[in-house]
A and B are shown apart, each in its own frame.
Chain A
């Protein structure tokens, strides 16, 4: 089955629950089979599958709850913010454990978490991310920048907490 393990990983990151993730993946495959006729040959199959999964999640109870947490209004207008130059991330990274990153990812709002997963884990291009999330390229870039900034801040807080 194409993309099975990766879709499952993405689903569990979104739903943060094993049973809910299994339901998401199962529904995604069933929807994909039912709607395969609507898939346009030559377009991105991977983006299509992730889009189905994400939309299924967003319309689920957990998805509605998660996506209602943070407003996305006006995110296109937000200037890309640089990382704090004084943060000694090169040092911090060496001290970080995988667990810390995982906890930080879990704590991110779902719209930040999903874009980081699609970009860093699934290695999607900005265009693919745009197709999956149904947002324009500019929004992909600004949202990704904000998501990474939020991630860095979370990580910095955690590292500072453990170093005290």
Chain B
């Protein structure tokens, strides 16, 4: 083997990475070739000098401390990392709240929409009554005539207010149907305005806020509604809200 081929193996020789066969061959060659032996020696010396010269940079104690602190902090943080459940509980809680709010919102919206629909239907009945050539079936200004007329026609009874000393005048009444159930529709007049008072059997979901008095505007009509004794009262008219409220008060005062 020529020197060039042995020299190819010199790096592996100085790095102690030779195979056993190559090592034996190289050592035999060195004995016969002073040039290759000197080359190997110089490489070995360079390796050792590089080793000594390159261990040059030393980390400062402050930097060592900083890294130690960072490592410790990181380790503690990892150990304290909450479990899957702890990570997800707040998220699930937020999700649950969002769902509750959504469902609640939908329910509220649904109830509101339902109420709006009910009021709109009653406004339609009121408008249809006013547009009719015979708006009422019992024509009388006397409550003692109108009330008995409903006997046997409705599954409930009600009282009508005494209108003396009030600006309202009873025009009459008729049986109406709302949500597939019969009810009373009474027609009153105040000045040039006509108002309908619907008396219906109250049912859950028929109109929300069953116990409260609710006022609303529907297509420019003023509406006031309340529940009492299982009956739903709805006053509708194009009169002012104050007039609608006054008639409602009269109705409520009548027991």
> Is chain A's interface secondary structure helix, strand, loop, or mixed overall?
helix
Q: When the two chains form their complex, are residues A105 and B54 in contact, meaning their CB atoms are under 8 A apart?
A: yes
| Complex: A69 Cα to B78 Cα, angstroms | 40
- Closest Cβ of chain B to A140, distance in Å, is 9
Q: Which residue of B lies closest to A123 (CB)?
A: B51
A residues in contact with B75, CB < 8 Å: 33
In the complex, B53 has a CB within 8 A of chain A: yes
- If A9-B58, A30-B70 touch, whether A96 touches B64 (CB-CB below 8 Å) is no
Q: Quick one: which of B1-31 are within 8 Å of A by CB?
A: 3-4, 7-8, 10-12, 15, 17
Tell me which residues across on chain A come within 8 A of B64, comparing CB atoms.
1, 4
Tell me the count of chain A residues lying within 8 A, CB to CB, of chain B: 44
Asked whether A59 is an interface residue with its Cβ less than 8 Å from the other chain, the reply is: no
Contacting pair B12 A89 (CB below 8 A)? no
Q: Known contacts A30-B74, A83-B43; decide if A9 and B38 are in contact (CB<8 Å).
A: no
CB-CB under 8 A from B43, the residues of chain A are: 83, 89, 148
Known: A22-B63, A90-B41. A144 touches B58 (CB 8 A): no
Give every chain A residue within 8 A of B84 (Cβ-Cβ). Answer: none
B168 to chain A: closest CB distance in Å?
A: 82
Interface string of A30-69 (1 = CB under 8 A from B): 1001000000000000000000000000000000000000
Interface residues of B (CB under 8 A from A): 3-4, 7-8, 10-12, 15, 17, 35, 38-39, 41-43, 45-47, 49-59, 63-64, 66-68, 70-71, 74-75, 78
Give residues in A with beta carbon < 8 Å to B: 1, 4-5, 8-9, 12-13, 18, 21-22, 25-26, 29-30, 33, 80, 82-83, 85, 87, 89-90, 93, 96, 98-99, 101-102, 105, 116-117, 119-121, 123, 125-126, 141, 144-145, 148, 151-152, 155
